[in-house]
């Protein structure tokens, strides 16, 4: 949420009314990608720091330098910080801004995917490999060929294929690409034009490269029309995630400047996906970012807010709450704070 919209908030009261508490409070963490590996929960967040950079729409104030892996023995157990798993100084091609990551497991190896800016200021996505879900991870010398933008999320389908979803507009630079080609003059479509979609690519058998040309995903409204760029309450902005429930693919994402976590469903990992509704209403802080993970037969939303830092947008804390599915497969909308303390997003 915009910084000016927090002035009326009593943060002590807000903390009491929050539906969940920060999983860790000794460091600031955000963008949690959660997985169950070997019966244990592992969360791969960004590590927020105060880089001393002024706020702007490109997100330059998000100056993260490294990654910590957070683990939990059970969903109610105390979260453990396993220390630095990867630092920007260890990545030969990356210069700055280690943004939202994800991880995957295959054949005893753990693959850690992360976006970062090269020296020329362009985001790419890299992979680092380790023998443990907590790292340390050893990065490949070059980013993934053909990768761009931010927010990698890796989905393992039931047939053993892995897919990476990525992309984010504004600071994430997705608006600069058309058909996987960068051009500085490209901009976000106008309000009445079709919105930019997130990108998907199947991963290679060795998990280090794309096995195909990345493809743009179509997100449709209930009438089958592609969402328009002016539909800020529904269109994709950043933070893609895919999970599967009762045979359906659920694609979820952040709407960015309207601060919703939304979802759409489809019958293929490539889409198209039909918009269904809101999973999470706005949180304190401009960004909202999530993952969805099944733990012992129940489904959980991992997310973040800035309540611990009293509204500082780039100092966030990861949280978790249970998801409820209705009989028709729809997801019950979650308010991160009690209804009587619902945030006013129109200020």
Q: Of 48, 102, 151, 238, which residue is the catalytic one?
A: 238
Residue 66 has pLDDT above 60, yes or no: yes
Does 2 score more than 50 pLDDT? no
Cα–Cα distance for residue pair 171/56, rounded to 1 Å: 9
Whether 106 contacts 36, CB under 8 Å: no
How many Cβ atoms from other residues are within 10 Å of residue 267's Cβ? Answer: 12
Does 13 participate in catalysis according to the annotation? no
Please state the rounded mean pLDDT for residues 255-268.
98
Burial class (CB in 10 A: 0-12, 13-18, 19+), 45: buried
Which of 10, 31, 60, 322 is flagged as catalytic?
31
23 pLDDT exceeds 90? Answer: yes
Tokens of 316: 């966030």
Q: Is 102 helix (H, G, I), strand (E, B) or coil?
A: strand
Query: What is the three-class DSSP state of 339?
Result: helix
pLDDT digits 0-9 by tens, 306-333: 999 999 999 999 999 999 999 999 999 9
pLDDT digits (tens, 9 = 90+) for 157-166: 999 999 999 9
- Where is pLDDT greater, at 112 or 9? 112
pLDDT tens digits along 120-146 = 999 999 999 999 999 999 999 999 999
Closest Cα to residue 173, out of 228, 126, 122? 122
pTM: 0.95
pLDDT category of residue 204 using cuts at 50, 70 and 90: very high
**Active-site residue 3, yes or no?**
no
């Amino acid at each position: 949420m915009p910084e000016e919209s927090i002035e009326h908030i009593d943060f002590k009261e807000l903390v009491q009314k929050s539906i969940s508490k920060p999983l860790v409070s000794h460091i600031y963490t955000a963008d949690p990608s959660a997985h169950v590996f070997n019966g244990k929960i592992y969360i791969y967040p960004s590590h927020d720091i105060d880089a001393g950079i002024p706020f702007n729409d490109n997100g330059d104030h998000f100056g993260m330098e490294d990654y910590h892996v957070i683990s939990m023995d059970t969903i109610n157990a105390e979260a453990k910080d396993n220390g630095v798993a990867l630092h920007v100084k260890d990545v030969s091609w990356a210069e700055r801004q280690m943004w939202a990551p994800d991880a995957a497991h295959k054949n005893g190896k753990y693959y850690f995917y992360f976006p970062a800016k090269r020296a020329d200021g362009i985001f790419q996505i890299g992979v680092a490999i380790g023998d443990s879900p907590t790292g340390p991870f050893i990065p490949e010398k070059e980013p993934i060929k053909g990768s761009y933008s931010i927010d990698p999320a890796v989905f393992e389908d039931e047939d053993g294929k892995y897919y990476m979803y990525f992309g984010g507009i504004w600071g994430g630079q997705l608006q600069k690409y058309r058909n996987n080609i960068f051009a500085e003059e490209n901009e976000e479509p106008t309000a009445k034009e079709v919105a930019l979609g997130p990108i998907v690519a199947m991963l290679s058998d060795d998990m280090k490269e794309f096995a195909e040309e990345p493809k743009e995903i179509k997100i449709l409204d209930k009438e089958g029309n592609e969402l328009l760029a002016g539909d800020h309450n529904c269109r994709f902005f950043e933070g893609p995630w895919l999970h599967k429930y009762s045979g359906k693919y659920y694609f979820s994402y952040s709407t960015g400047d309207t601060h919703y976590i939304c979802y759409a469903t489809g019958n293929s990992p490539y889409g198209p996906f039909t918009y269904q509704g809101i999973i999470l209403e706005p949180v304190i802080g401009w960004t909202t970012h999530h993952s969805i993970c099944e733990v012992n037969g129940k489904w959980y939303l991992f997310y973040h807010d800035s309540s611990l830092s009293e509204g500082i947008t780039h100092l966030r804390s990861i949280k978790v709450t249970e998801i409820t599915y209705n009989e028709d497969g729809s997801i019950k909308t979650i308010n991160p704070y009690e209804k009587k303390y619902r945030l006013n997003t129109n200020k």
